[in-house]
């Protein structure tokens, strides 16, 4: 059964760039890989997708046919995706591959908060699907932003009912110490707690309770530092996905 790896995260967090870099890395190492663009609104991609939702859904047509503006069209398109998914699945099935990399729409909520995405995930195959949730350094570099991203990643996991690996994207843009601080927040909630206290962000009772609830849930996970620019962390991300899917068994091992 092939693996389906969905890149998800906030607008601009680096989903498309990492899809591209991950594909290049896999091909360099001789793995079969197929890229799928599920973002009907994207104008330019850093890779040539093997399967492209824009063949089925065109945002200009949606605006015209449904009498909606660009934002409304994105929402209609997200729902149309569910109606077209059987055809898209047929296009995917034409490839013989072990690995599908799925680049999801820019506005994450279009994919993770709508029931259509559930239909997509169910149709493509849930048994060997994993989410790669990308933490954008622009948002993850404050402790408050970091917690908001943890909450969003949980919401995506809950909504899609899939396992999730978490990565910090664009680490080439961070100073070493900045990156290490963010990684520490993922691996040691006490450091995150102290930094929140230092920023005066844990004065409201609700915030303390929320912080503790996430800690009890074991929601703070080590992030895999990655960069689509330098290729850093891509093998680690691949290994983590293998670990989740197959308990560490490498597809390439003979």
Ligand X SMILES: Nc1nc2c(ncn2[C@@H]2O[C@H](COP(=O)(O)OP(=O)(O)OP(=O)(O)O)[C@@H](O)[C@H]2O)c(=O)[nH]1
Binder among 6, 35, 36, 39 for ligand X (CB under 6 A)? 39
- Does position 16 interact with Mg ion (CB under 5 A)? The reply is yes
User: Toward ligand X, which CB reaches closer, 41 or 189?
Assistant: 41
Could you give the CA distance from residue 133 to residue 119 in angstroms, rounded to a whole number? 19
* Footprint of Mg ion on 28-57 (CB under 5 A): none
Q: Which of residues 72-131 bind ligand X (CB under 6 A)?
A: 106
- Annotate each residue in 163-192 with x if it binds ligand X (CB under 6 A) or - if it does not, as one string: ------xx-xx-------------------
Pick the closest to residue 133 from 100, 174, 163 (CA basis).
163
Look up residue 210 and give its two tokens.
């929320």
Residue from 137, 227, 241, 242 that binds ligand X (CB under 6 A)? Answer: 227
> Helix %, strand %, coil % for the chain, to 5?
55, 10, 35
The whole-angstrom separation of Cα 143 and Cα 164 is 21
Residue of 15, 23, 141, 181 interacting with ligand X (CB under 6 A): 15
Select the span of 11-19, 82-90, 160-168, 170-178 touching Mg ion (CB under 5 A): 11-19
- Under 8 Å CB-to-CB from 85, ≥6 apart: which residues? 119, 120, 123, 124
Q: What is the edge-to-edge ordering of all strands in the sheet holding 129-135?
A: 51-52, 34-37, 99-103, 3-8, 129-135, 164-168, 224-225
Q: What Cα–Cα distance (Å) separates residue 178 from each residue in 167, 181, 184, 225?
A: 15, 5, 10, 12
CB of 134 to ligand X, least distance (A): 7
Least separation in angstroms between residue 142's CB and Mg ion is 24
- Length of the chain (residues): 254
**In the set 14, 137, 189, 225, which binds ligand X (CB under 6 A)?**
14
Question: Is residue 16 part of the contact set for ligand X (CB under 6 A)?
Answer: yes
Q: Catalog residues that contact Mg ion under the rule CB under 5 A.
A: 15-16
Which positions lie near ligand X, rule CB under 6 A? 11-17, 39, 106, 169-170, 172-173, 227-229
């Amino acid at each position: 059964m092939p693996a389906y790896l969905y890149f998800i995260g906030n607008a601009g967090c680096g989903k498309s760039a990492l899809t591209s870099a991950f594909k290049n890395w896999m091909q360099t190492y001789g793995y079969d890989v197929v890229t799928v663009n599920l973002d009907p609104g994207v104008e330019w991609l850093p890779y040539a997708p093997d399967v492209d939702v824009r063949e089925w859904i065109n945002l200009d047509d949606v605006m015209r046919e449904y009498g909606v503006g660009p934002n409304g069209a994105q929402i209609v398109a997200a729902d149309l995706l569910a109606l077209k998914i059987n055809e898209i699945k047929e296009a995917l099935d034409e490839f013989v591959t072990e690995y599908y990399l799925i680049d999801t729409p820019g506005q994450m909520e279009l994919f993770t908060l709508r029931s259509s995405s559930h239909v997509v995930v169910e149709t493509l195959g849930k048994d060997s699907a994993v989410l790669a949730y990308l933490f954008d350094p622009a948002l993850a570099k404050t402790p408050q932003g970091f917690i908001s991203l943890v909450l969003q990643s949980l919401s995506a996991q809950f909504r899609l009912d899939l396992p999730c690996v978490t990565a910090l994207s664009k680490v080439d843009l961070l100073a070493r110490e900045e990156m290490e601080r963010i990684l520490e927040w993922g691996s040691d909630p006490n450091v995150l707690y102290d930094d929140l206290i230092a920023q005066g962000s844990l004065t409201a009772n609700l915030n303390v309770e929320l912080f503790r609830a996430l800690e009890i849930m074991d929601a703070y996970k080590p992030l895999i530092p990655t960069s689509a620019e330098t290729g850093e962390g891509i093998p680690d991300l691949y290994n983590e996905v293998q670990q989740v899917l197959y308990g560490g068994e490498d597809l390439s091992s003979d």
